[in-house]
Amino acid sequence: MAHRQATHAGSWYSSSGTELSKQLGGWLSKVANGNTPAKAIIAPHAGYAYCGACAAYAYKQIDPRGIKRIFILGPSHHYYLTKCAISMTSQCNTPLYPLQVDTEINNQLLKTGKFDKMSKSVDEDEHSIEMHLPYIAQVMSSRSPDSFTIVPILVGALGYREELMYGEIFSQYLVDPENLFVISSDFCHWGKRFRFTYYEKSHKHIFSSIEALDRKGMDLIEQLDPAGFREYLDKYQNTICGRHPIGVLLQAIDAVRKKQRSNMKMRFLNYAQSSQCLSANDSSVSYAAGVFNLSTS
């Protein structure tokens, strides 16, 4: 099977493994560990110069011990699809070391009949999954590269019923203590170039209005409310590019909650913006780092 190349290395992040590891390690060293290892994280996927420090807050909550499989759900920016698609590569290269794709899980998912196959060109054009691969390699560096696998999933423009269906499918993997989920999403894309200029004038500055809008959505995610999050998106049209991967995660969590007694908590640990918008001619992208903890009884 083909290997996925690190097509955004050298532009969106460093192509030097030594330099990249030092940069990621520096950001991680400035963040405190949580008391409970992450079962899932939400983290951004922009160039590391913009969002690397924010993403560290989520990645610091990962305990590499015991993790055998990492699902990565990222939105599709360039290729339109209405389902989820699976990478057909056997390996994803990073400047640190290659990550092995879990072909066994891929085959299980394909047997459901609900997943498409990603072509190599679509796979390599998409940055939403790739931007997480070096961070995964960094936080898993205490483990042998052949002791864990990744499951890259490209998430299309799903309706609510599709999010519910995929949430049900992924719920069985979410409860497995050896699995971790990485949800790839930036938050508000604001400005004329994004065709989104919502501004609540009760806020003195545009950037404050953007943050307030983002935090309304973040609050609903923390409440683990998939229906509420969908209603929020319908009402405000906030340009959260990973809204469907987030929706699938929320539905998976809801499915677990309906099947068994669980202690679960979602919380956001950091929020940032690429710049502070002060006028209608400005633009920015927002980033948030969240962690989901799950213990079952």
Residue 267, domain CATH: 3.40.830.10
Q: Which tens digit of pLDDT belongs to each residue from 78-134?
A: 999 999 999 999 999 999 999 999 999 999 999 999 999 999 999 999 999 999 999
Measuring CA to CA, which residue among 60, 51, 54, 52 is closest to residue 31? 60
Q: Which tens digit of pLDDT belongs to each residue from 38-84?
A: 999 999 999 999 999 999 999 999 999 999 999 999 999 999 999 99
pLDDT value of position 249: 98
User: Environment class of residue 92 by beta-carbon count within 10 Å: exposed (0-12), middle (13-18) or buried (19+)?
Assistant: buried
pTM over 0.75: yes
- pLDDT greater than 80 at residue 272: yes
- pLDDT greater than 80 at residue 297: no
- Residue-range definition of the domain harbouring residue 128: 3-145+152-296
141 to each of 62, 128, 227, 291, how far by Cα in Å?
12, 21, 38, 20
**What's the domain count of the chain?**
1
